[in-house]
C-alpha cells in the first residue's frame, strides 16, 4: 500500500459539468490510499463535490457520493426541455429557474454553514456586480455552492449580500478532447448596448452562444478603460481610415457643389476623399472607443485614459474545437441588416456599432484581446491555497 507523507494537502477541484462524476472516482482513489485534504478549493461542480467531501473526508462517505451521482438526471434538476422552451419564448435571462438545483443541494448538503465542515472549504464564483472573482469560506454554505454552479444563461445568478454571482467558469484541465480535435480559446464581449436598461438580454445572448456546445472557461464583468478600448480596436482604426475615402469623396463633392454652384472634377473628388477619409475614420474610431468605454480619447487626460470606463460589458472566454469559427457563425456579420435570421446580431443588433457582441476573428487575436481585458490568465486555485498556507 502507498504510504502518503506530507505536511499539508489541498484538494483543488475544478469544473466540467457532468465530468464531476469522474471526480468522485478520483476522490475515492485518493482516500483509499490515505490521502486526505487539509483544505479544499472547489469551483462549479467541484464546489459541490468539495462541499460533500469537506463534511466527512472518509471512504464510506465518498461511496455515498457515488450513489448520489448515479441518481442525478436532468429531471431531478428540473432541466426539462419544455421549461427551457418556455423561458426562451418569454425571453428570460436563463433557460431554467434553478429551483431543481436549489432543492437538490439543500436535500444533500449535511450542514448549513462553512464553519460546520470538518475540512476548510473555499468555493469560487464570479461576482457579476463587481466584475471580480468571489471566494466564499464562511457563512451559509448552500448559496455559495449554488453560486459557483450557476452557469450563465442556464441558471439565474445567485444573489449573496446584494450581489449577483454565477459559475466560476474555470473548467480548464478537466475537458478531454478526441485526439483529432485541437481546442481553441476565443473571446466574446457582450457589449454595453445590452445593459442600457434592466432586461434579460445579456442572458439571452449568452444562451445563443451556448448552442455552439463550447465550454465557458472564464467570465467577468469588465469596465474597459479608454486606453484599453483604443488598444483593443486599434486594428479597426486603419481599416476605417482607408475605407472612408470613397464615401467622403462623394459626400464632400455633393456638399461643395451645392454650396458653391460649380462642378468638382473627378481628380479633385479623389483628392477630397484622400484628405477627408482618414479624418472620418478617426472620428468613427473615437465613437467606437466612447461606445465601449464611455469616454472618447479626445476627452481624456493621461490619468483618465487609464481609469475604468463608465460602460460595462461581459467578457467570456469559450473553449472547444474550432471555437473561433463556431462563435462567429452564431454571432453573424458586423452589419445586423446583413446577418442571417437566428444569429445574435440579427436578433439583438441595430447598427454596425450597436450590434450586441464582439467575437475574436482568430486564435491570435483572441490571445491579444484576452491580454488587454485581463481575462483567462489568473489561477484562482493557486492564489487561494497560497493565502491559506502561505507561499512556499
H-helix or E-strand spanning residue 185: strand 183-190
Q: Cα(359)–Cα(183) distance, rounded to whole angstroms?
A: 17
Beta strands 121-127; 183-190: pairing state: unpaired
pLDDT tens-digit readout, 309-339 = 999 888 888 888 999 999 999 999 999 999 9
Cell numbers of 347, please?
436578433
Q: Could you give the residue ranges of the DSSP H alpha helices within 128-265? A: 141-149, 201-210, 226-232, 234-243, 245-260
* Alpha carbons 57 and 299: distance in angstroms, whole number: 58
Q: How confident is the model at residue 377 (pLDDT cuts 50, 70, 90)?
A: low
pLDDT of residue 269: 93
Would you say residue 299 has pLDDT above 80?
yes
Q: Is 95 exposed, middle or buried (0-12, 13-18, 19+ CB in 10 A)?
A: buried
Q: Facing residues of 346 across strands?
A: none
The label of the residue with cell 483618465 reads 304
H-state helical runs in 211-362: 226-232, 234-243, 245-260, 266-293, 302-306, 323-331, 344-348
Q: What is the CA radius of gyration of the chain?
A: 25
pLDDT in tens, 122-172: 988 877 666 567 889 999 888 888 888 777 666 778 888 888 887 765 434
- pLDDT tens for 102-119 read 666 666 677 888 998 999
Q: Which tens digits make up the pLDDT trace of 51-93?
A: 888 888 899 988 888 887 777 655 554 444 444 444 444 555 5
> What is the Cα–Cα distance from 160 to 128, expressed in whole angstroms?
11
Beta carbons within 8 Å of 221's beta carbon, 6+ residues apart: 126, 127, 128, 129, 130, 131, 312, 313, 314, 315
CB 35 within 8 A of CB 1: no
Q: How many CB atoms lie within 10 A of CB 310?
A: 12
Cell reading at 6: 506530507
What pLDDT is attached to residue 79?
45
Amino acid at each position: 500500500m502507498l504510504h502518503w507523507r506530507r505536511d499539508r494537502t489541498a484538494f483543488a477541484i475544478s469544473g466540467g459539468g457532468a465530468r464531476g462524476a469522474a471526480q468522485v472516482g478520483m476522490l475515492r482513489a485518493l482516500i483509499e490510499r490515505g490521502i486526505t485534504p487539509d483544505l479544499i478549493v472547489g469551483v462549479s461542480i467541484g464546489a459541490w463535490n468539495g462541499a460533500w467531501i469537506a463534511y466527512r473526508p472518509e471512504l464510506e462517505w465518498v461511496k455515498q457520493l457515488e450513489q448520489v451521482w448515479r441518481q442525478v438526471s436532468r429531471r431531478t434538476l428540473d432541466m426539462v426541455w419544455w421549461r427551457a422552451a418556455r423561458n426562451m419564448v418569454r425571453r428570460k435571462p436563463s433557460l431554467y429557474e434553478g429551483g431543481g438545483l436549489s432543492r437538490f443541494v439543500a436535500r444533500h448538503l449535511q450542514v448549513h454553514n462553512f464553519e460546520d465542515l470538518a475540512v476548510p472549504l473555499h468555493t469560487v464564483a464570479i461576482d457579476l456586480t463587481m466584475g471580480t472573482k468571489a471566494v466564499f469560506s464562511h457563512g451559509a454554505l448552500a448559496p455559495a455552492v449554488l453560486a459557483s454552479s450557476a452557469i450563465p444563461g442556464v441558471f439565474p445568478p445567485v444573489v449573496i449580500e446584494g450581489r449577483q454571482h454565477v459559475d466560476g467558469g474555470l473548467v480548464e484541465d478537466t475537458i478531454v478532447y478526441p485526439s483529432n480535435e485541437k481546442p481553441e480559446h476565443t473571446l466574446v464581449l457582450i457589449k454595453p448596448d445590452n445593459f442600457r436598461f434592466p432586461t434579460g438580454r445579456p442572458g439571452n445572448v449568452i444562451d445563443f452562444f451556448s448552442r455552439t456546445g463550447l465550454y465557458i472557461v472564464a467570465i467577468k464583468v469588465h469596465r474597459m478603460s479608454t486606453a484599453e478600448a483604443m488598444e483593443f480596436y486599434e486594428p479597426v482604426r486603419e481599416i476605417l481610415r482607408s475605407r472612408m475615402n470613397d464615401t467622403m469623396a462623394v459626400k464632400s463633392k455633393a456638399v461643395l457643389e451645392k454650396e458653391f454652384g460649380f462642378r468638382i472634377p473627378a481628380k479633385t473628388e479623389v483628392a477630397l476623399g484622400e484628405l477627408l477619409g482618414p479624418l472620418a475614420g478617426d472620428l468613427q474610431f473615437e465613437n467606437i472607443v466612447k461606445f465601449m468605454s464611455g469616454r472618447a480619447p479626445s476627452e481624456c487626460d493621461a490619468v483618465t485614459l487609464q481609469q475604468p470606463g463608465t460602460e460595462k460589458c461581459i467578457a467570456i472566454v469559450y473553449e472547444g474545437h474550432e471555437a473561433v469559427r463556431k462563435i462567429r457563425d452564431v454571432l453573424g456579420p458586423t452589419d445586423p441588416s446583413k446577418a442571417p435570421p437566428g444569429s445574435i446580431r440579427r436578433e439583438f443588433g441595430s447598427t454596425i456599432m450597436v450590434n450586441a457582441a464582439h467575437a475574436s476573428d482568430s486564435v491570435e487575436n483572441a490571445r491579444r484581446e484576452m491580454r488587454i481585458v485581463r481575462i483567462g490568465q489568473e489561477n484562482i486555485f493557486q492564489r487561494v491555497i497560497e493565502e491559506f498556507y502561505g507561499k512556499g
